[in-house]
Chain A
Amino acid sequence: MIRFILSRAVQGMIVIVAVISITYTLMYLSPGSPFASEREMPENVRESLNRIYGLDQPLRVQLWRNVKSFATFDLPVSYRLKGWNSGDIIAQAAPVSFTVGGMAFLIAVALGIPAGALAALRAGKFVDRATMAAATLGVCLPSLVLGPLIALLFGMKMKWFNVAGWYDSDDWVLPAVTLGLISAAAVARLTRGGLRETLAADHIRTARAKGLDEKTIIARHAFRLACLPLINYLGPLAAGLLSGAFVTETVFQLPGLGRHFISSAVHKDFTVAMTLAALFAALIVIFNLLVDILQAWLNPRIRLTEK
């Protein structure tokens, strides 16, 4: 177990270094300059800026400098937000995204799993159809549509919450509900699918034949297995939710990570883009590891070995 975790940690680090390097190279190759502005600047200023930030050096020197700064946790300064290093920027935005993303994750799980399970157990009945229709709608509705709708209904019309902003202690609610509902839809569909498949499996039939009561069968035998595809999905979902959601953050004006993802790419802010990519990669690595451990625990057929 410990060997497994260690070897995955080493793999994870290699992945993160690769992600940083690829991000930097892509940014380097993409057109535009991080220093371009509507008012043209003199050539000597452009040259000085490139020299100050080391952008005049060959790509491999630039890459090495950045990988080194990440390895030593001495994060590089942002090209756009002058006087802030990319670590400061992430440190300001991460708590916001973690709160909203974490709550959205809880909503998705708390809503999606019971709904999916209910649908599976009442397969073909009205409850199933209604839940799945709602879930399909949820999967199809982009946050760009759902977000403003929720803001209009619970913010503007009902006056329950602020339509946007990050000031009051309850400002996480509407964005978390938006993200949570959308994810809950996918969770519900996966739970339903997994549970229906498991309920038709041989060992469940055996359990029924043994005369176990239906509640025990579902809770102890079926649900554990039915969770496997769901857990595979929940790992990346958690990483995705925690690292921020651009559209939801824009609609609700949250100072989270998602907006930095887009603005760093649009403004060619190499360093912030790299730091975010590294953070996202780290989250994915961590959650995938958690998923593997959870799966091994839930399904005895999976063993944590490296060979």
Chain B
Amino acid sequence: MTWITRLIIIAALVAGVWGFDALRKTRPERVKLADENGVLLVGIGTDIETLDPHIATGQPEHFVIVSLFEGLVAPGVNDPDANEPGVALSWESQDQVTWRFKLRPEAKWSDGTPITSHDFLYAWQRILSPELASKYGEMLHLLKGAAAFNKGETKDFSTVGVKAPDDHTLEIVLEGPAPYFPGMLKHYTWFPVPRQTIEKFGGMTKRDTEWARPGNLVCNGPFTLKDWRINHFIAVKKNAHYWDAARCALREIHFFPIDNYESEERSFLDGQLHITYTVPLAKVPLYRQTKPPFFKQSLEMTCEFYRCNTTRAPFNDKRVRNALSLAVDRVALLDQVIRSGHRPATGLTPPGAHPDYPPLEKVRFDPKEAKRLLTEAGFPDGKGFRKIDILTNTSPNARTVAEFFQESWRKHLGIEVSIRQMDWQVYLDAQHRLDYDVARAGWVGDYTDPFTFLGIFRSFDGNNDTGWKNPRYDELMLASTREPDVSKRLALMRQGEEMLLDEMPMIPVFWRMNSSLERPEVRNWKHSMISHRCYKAVSLGPYQPLMPKP
């Protein structure tokens, strides 16, 4: 090879790379095309398991299902946590026990059939049928007689407190007064399902049919299902039969299950997503510092806590549980270790659960008092205290928090702690079987009311998982569900929470702050404390670069 041929080859290579670079660099970003076509691209975290509102259990499912279905009550256009009419035109209740919903006559399914009150009867009978084995049937136990029907104690659905006197009226009787009832109806378990389709695919109580797959699914929300590829995306398009279709500005929404948050962030920065589900935890402190305009944080109604297994010594002693709580400096954990904007929990119920229920200020850091309590319980300086385990799932953040607890308890109490990380299903199972010492846990509010948090520590509640049983606490909770007067009701719950924090079967750690990345052209995307979304209000402006030109 002469030097001329070599030179020619090298020149050709350089020119090739340069040309390729010029050609590829000018590709339009995916969001730009999406902006022009009115398509919103949203990250939803993990992949969905089903679109059947009666089988679904997760948050990603919630994000998609609320675009496809609508309940009696809908999230507010300006505040998704507010209650606005959905399929129901109006509702009234004198005593918060008996409710009367008037349905809008123009509401239709996406196949054009009108929605009647009988569709709701069908749906609620379906989710409560023991044969369907819906995991979330319990959400409807607020209805009078629903629990008995759900457990198979009666086969007669007319014993359940819901009637349809005519096609557009629903009369509902609850077990007790529930002022938060309209808010609960925004949860997908209460949504209507298309009888005509479900009957075609094997009937009311048959599981695992294909009715909720693309091509089959009939729904009543602002969007209909266009496509669903597993681990890939779910596409929904505008529903022409939706009663409020005129308001709906978006033509399509594409949901992306990206469970690797670094990948999600890269996709966003590369112009492939309008809104991310979250932000990688390690990046949040940096974003909080540099404050780019696309970084958003909002309050979430979520509490992270540590469960104590009260059926095991030494956690059967409330002094020990209190000592464990008092020995942890949550402010230091959040300001110096996690740095994501979460707020240290001073009680169980996070702020925002109810306007007249400010959070309790009971949980604090006091190593001296912790030591005193532990000594009183018979373990001076941790002597004689057996080595204990912290059970957590495998997320890195959970591990970081657990390590902080490990160090705090070693330093302030002289207790040896090891950390046991387990895969999600095994970790959940171990908690349900009470096979742990102390376990990391989190609880997301289902509706804006303190009861959504306090209710789980009733002795019979399936989510208690601490073995803690207190008849007085159960009484207080029961009384609160029967008290029609709001302030008296809140006072009963307050008394319950005081008691819970005195007994400390769970150690509150922090109230979560939600972080996400959002493109500037997305309009009217409102944040909710409990992940409600009003997609029909969202619109897309003209394309804008991520960072404004300096």
The interface of chain A, by Cβ under 8 A from chain B, is 30-42, 44-45, 48-49, 52, 77, 80-84, 89, 92-93, 148, 151-152, 155-156, 158-167, 250-253, 255-256, 259-260, 263, 266-268
Task: Give every chain A residue within 8 A of B432 (Cβ-Cβ).
Answer: 36, 40
B210 and A155 within 8 A (CB): no
Task: Give every chain B residue within 8 A of A92 (Cβ-Cβ).
Answer: 229-230, 232
Q: Which residue of the partner chain, among A37, A49, A158, A260, contacts B231 with CB atoms under 8 Å? A: A260
Task: Give every chain B residue within 8 A of A162 (Cβ-Cβ).
Answer: 30, 270, 272
- The answer for the CA separation of A268 and B57 in the assembled complex, in Å, is 16
Which A residue sits closest to B443, measured CB to CB? A38
Task: Give every chain A residue within 8 A of B496 (Cβ-Cβ).
Answer: none
- The answer for the CA separation of A89 and B232 in the assembled complex, in Å, is 12
The interface of chain B, by Cβ under 8 A from chain A, is 20-21, 24-25, 27, 30, 47, 49-50, 52, 55, 57-58, 130-131, 133-138, 150-152, 207-213, 229-232, 256, 258-260, 262-263, 266-267, 269-270, 272, 423-426, 428-430, 432, 442, 461-463, 465
A89 and B272 within 8 A (CB): no
Which A residue sits closest to B132, measured CB to CB? A48
6 nearest CB pairs, A to B: A40-B462, A32-B425, A255-B232, A48-B133, A82-B50, A255-B231
B428 and A156 within 8 A (CB): no
- The answer for the CA separation of A250 and B263 in the assembled complex, in Å, is 8
Q: How many A-B residue pairs have CB under 8 A?
A: 147
Q: Which residue of the partner chain, among B131, B270, B465, contacts A48 with CB atoms under 8 Å? A: B131
Least CB distance, A247 to chain B, in whole angstroms:
10
Could you jot down 29 A-B contacts, CB within 8 Å?
A: A33-B425, A33-B429, A36-B429, A37-B57, A37-B58, A38-B428, A39-B135, A40-B432, A41-B462, A42-B137, A42-B150, A49-B133, A80-B49, A81-B49, A82-B55, A84-B213, A148-B266, A152-B266, A156-B270, A163-B266, A164-B263, A164-B266, A166-B232, A251-B263, A253-B260, A256-B231, A266-B423, A266-B424, A266-B425
- The answer for the CA separation of A93 and B229 in the assembled complex, in Å, is 9
Task: Give every chain A residue within 8 A of B272 (Cβ-Cβ).
Answer: 162-165
B152 and A44 within 8 A (CB): yes
- The answer for the CA separation of A135 and B465 in the assembled complex, in Å, is 52
Apart from A148-B266, A250-B259: 4 A-B pairs, beta carbons within 8 A: A31-B430, A32-B428, A40-B463, A164-B267
Task: Give every chain B residue within 8 A of A41 (Cβ-Cβ).
Answer: 135, 138, 462
Task: Give every chain B residue within 8 A of A33 (Cβ-Cβ).
Answer: 425, 429
B229 and A255 within 8 A (CB): yes
B50 and A83 within 8 A (CB): yes
Task: Give every chain A residue within 8 A of B229 (Cβ-Cβ).
Answer: 92, 255
B212 and A83 within 8 A (CB): yes
Query: A41-B135, A42-B151, A252-B263 known; A167 and B30 CB under 8 Å?
Result: yes
B270 and A155 within 8 A (CB): yes
Least CB distance, B228 to chain A, in whole angstroms:
10
Least CB distance, A51 to chain B, in whole angstroms:
8
- The answer for the CA separation of A252 and B258 in the assembled complex, in Å, is 10
Which B residue sits closest to A165, measured CB to CB? B272
A39 and B270 within 8 A (CB): no
| Residue among B27, B49, B231, B428 with most chain A CB within 10 A | B231
B231 and A148 within 8 A (CB): no
- The answer for the CA separation of A41 and B208 in the assembled complex, in Å, is 19
- The answer for the CA separation of A32 and B424 in the assembled complex, in Å, is 9
Least CB distance, B298 to chain A, in whole angstroms:
22
Q: Which residue of the partner chain, among B24, B150, B213, contacts A161 with CB atoms under 8 Å? A: B24
- The answer for the CA separation of A160 and B210 in the assembled complex, in Å, is 40
Least CB distance, A48 to chain B, in whole angstroms:
4
- The answer for the CA separation of A39 and B432 in the assembled complex, in Å, is 10
Which A residue sits closest to B137, measured CB to CB? A45
- The answer for the CA separation of A90 and B340 in the assembled complex, in Å, is 39
Task: Give every chain A residue within 8 A of B47 (Cβ-Cβ).
Answer: 263
Task: Give every chain B residue within 8 A of A30 (Cβ-Cβ).
Answer: 426
Which A residue sits closest to B135, measured CB to CB? A41
Which A residue sits closest to B152, measured CB to CB? A44
- The answer for the CA separation of A81 and B20 in the assembled complex, in Å, is 42
Which A residue sits closest to B426, measured CB to CB? A32
Least CB distance, A253 to chain B, in whole angstroms:
5
A45 and B135 within 8 A (CB): yes
- The answer for the CA separation of A251 and B259 in the assembled complex, in Å, is 10
| Residue among A31, A52, A256, A259 with most chain B CB within 10 A | A31
